[in-house]
Amino acid sequence: MIELPPAPSWDGLHPLIVHFPVALLLVAPVLVLLALVVRGHRRGLLLAALALMVLGTAASWVAVSTGEAAGKLADRSPEVNAVLEHHEELAETTRLVFTVLTAVFAALVLAPVVLKREPGEVATIGVAVLFLAVYGAGTLVLANTAHNGGRLVHELGVRALMPPAPLPAAEAEKD
Amino acid sequence: MKTTSFVRSLPAFALAGAAALVLALPAPAAAPPAASTLDNLQAAYDGESNASAKYAAFAKKADEEGYGQVASLFRAAARAEQIHAANHAAVIKKLGGVPKNDVKAPEVKTTKENLQAAIAGESYERDKMYPEFLAKAKKDTNRDAIETFNFAKAAEAEHAKLYSESLAKLDSLKGTKAVTYYVCTVCGFTTTKLDFQKCPVCFNPKDKYTKVG
C-alpha cells in the first residue's frame, strides 16, 4: 500500500531541499544558451530560465535556513566544525550571489517587455555571454557549497534528524 | 516396601527442595532503568551549575597566584557553564520538570592542579557524558535536548583545548594581566577572537557574544 511519508521538521527538510537550488540553478544557464541558438523561441526560453532561477534562488533561501536548524543538531567534532563552518559560509555566499544574478537577469529579460523595445542581436548576445560568464563564477560557489555538504554527509557521517516512521511490513517481519 | 517407595520418591523430594531453594534465594539485582532524557538534563544542569561555581573559585585562586590570563579563562568558562545550565533548565521546564541542582563547595588547589582538574572534567563531558546524553536524546527525537547538549558539548571541547594550552605554557603566564574572552550568550562557545560573522556553533550573529575578562 502506498503511504504518505511522515512530514519532516524544518531541520529535517534540509536534505530534501538542498537538491533544488543545485538542479534548478545549474539547468537555468543551459536554457539561456539555448535561447541564443533557437531564436524563434528566445523569449519563451529566457522566461523559462528566469522561472528556474527564481525557484532555485528561493530554494537556496530555504536551504540556508533549514541548514542552520540542522547544523544545531549535528554531531560535532573538530573536523565537522571546520567543514560545517565553511559549508555555511559558502551557502550564504551562494544565496547572495544568485539573488543578485536572478534580479539582474529578471531586469534584462523583462526590460524589453516593459520598455516595448527589443535590443539588437549583437547587444542581446553580448549581454547574454557576459551574464553567463558571471553566472558561471556563481555556479562554482554553488558547486563548492554542494561539495562541502556532501562531505559532511558522506565523508563525516553527519545526518539530519528524520521523523520516526514505522518500518515497512517486510522489514518489520525480519525483526 | 515402604523403604522402596521412599527411595523412589527421592528425586521428587530433591526437585521440590531445589525449587524451594531457588525461590528462597534473593532475586538477582535488576539492571538499573536507563536514564531518561529528562534525567540526563537534570544531571547536566547539576554538572554545569557546579562547574560554573568551581571555575569562579578557580579564577579567584588564579588571580591570587598572579595568573591573570588564566583567571580570565576560568571566568569566561564559568559564564559559559552558566549559559549551558540556563539552556538545560529551559528544556527541563519545557518537558514539565523542575530544574534541581546541588552546588557543592569547590575543592580549590593550586592553579596548575585546578587546570588539570578542569581539563579532566571538560574531557569527560566532551568524550563520555554528552555523547551518551546525545545518543539518548536522538533516540527520543527530542530536538530541544539535542540542541542544548550539542551546544554544551561543543563549548566544553573548546574549553578543554583552551585549558590545555594554558597548562602547557603556565610558567610563562605568571604575572600576566586579565585578557578578554568572548562568550556566546546563546550557546556558551568561548573564544579569544571574534574572527567570524556568525557563531560557529549556534550560527547566531557575533553581536550575541559578550566580553569576559
Q: What percent of chain B has pLDDT over 70?
A: 84
Within 8 A of A9 by CB-CB distance, chain B residues are 143
Number of domains composing chain B: 1
Q: What is the mean pLDDT of residues A29-39?
A: 95
Q: Is residue B123 part of a domain?
A: yes
- In terms of Cβ atoms closer than 10 Å to its own Cβ (0-12, 13-18, 19+), residue B178 is middle
**Closest by CA position to B62, among listed B54, B49, B74, B51:** B74
Chain A: residue whose CA lies nearest to B161? A78
The enclosing H or E element of B212 equals strand B209-212
Query: How many other CB atoms sit within 10 Å of the CB of residue B94?
Result: 12
Which domain does B48 fall in, by range? 34-212
Q: Is residue B16 part of a domain?
A: no
Q: Is residue B14 part of a domain?
A: no
How far apart (Å, rounded) are the C-alpha atoms in residues B27 and A138? 70
Query: Residue B107: is its pLDDT beyond 60?
Result: yes
pLDDT of residue B134: 95
Using the beta-carbon criterion (under 8 Å), do A74 and B157 form an inter-chain contact? no
**Cβ-contact B170, B112 below 8 angstroms:** yes
DSSP 8-state code for residue B205: B
Q: Which of A119-123, B4-8, B28-32 has the highest mean pLDDT?
A: A119-123
Chain A within 8 Å of B137 (Cβ-Cβ)?
Answer: no
Query: Residues of B numbered 105-134 whose beta carbons fall under 8 angstroms of chain A's beta carbons: which are they?
Result: 134
Q: Nearest CA to CA, how far is B206 from chain A (Å)?
A: 14
Interface mutation vs chain A, best among B87, B133, B148, B150, most A CBs within 10 Å? B150
ipTM of this complex prediction, to 2 decimal places: 0.75
State the CATH number of the domain containing residue B92.
Answer: 1.20.1260.10
> Rg of the Cα trace of chain B?
26
Directed axis angle between helix B37-64 and helix B130-139, to 10°?
Answer: 160
Q: What is the mean pLDDT of residues B141-161?
A: 95
Please work out, in degrees rounded to the nearest 5, the angle formed at the alpha carbon of residue B156 by the alpha carbons of B150 and B160: 150
Q: For the segment A149-168, what is each residue's pLDDT rounded down to a tens digit?
A: 999 999 999 988 887 766 66
Q: Is residue B22 part of a domain?
A: no
Q: Is residue B129 part of a domain?
A: yes
Question: In degrees to the nearest 10, what's the CA dihedral of A17, A21, A22, A26?
Answer: 160
Q: Which residues make Cβ contacts (< 8 Å) with residue B118, sequence separation at least 6?
A: B54, B55, B58, B74, B77, B159, B163
Q: Is residue B15 part of a domain?
A: no
Q: Is residue B10 part of a domain?
A: no
For residue B211, list its beta bridge partners: B182
Using the beta-carbon criterion (under 8 Å), do A85 and B151 form an inter-chain contact? no
**Of B146, B147, B200, which is closest to A81 when you measure between CB atoms?**
B200
Question: Residue for cell digits 544531571?
Answer: B43
Q: Is residue B19 part of a domain?
A: no
A91-95, B2-6, B55-59: least confident range: B2-6
**Cβ-contact A24, A59 below 8 angstroms:** yes
The residue ranges of every structural domain in chain A are: 11-159
- In terms of Cβ atoms closer than 10 Å to its own Cβ (0-12, 13-18, 19+), residue A94 is buried
Q: For the segment B73-87, what is each residue's pLDDT rounded down to a tens digit?
A: 999 999 999 999 999
How far apart (Å, rounded) are the C-alpha atoms in residues A69 and B147? 9
pLDDT of residue A170: 58
**Of A9, A75, A88, which is closest to B203 when you measure between CB atoms?**
A88
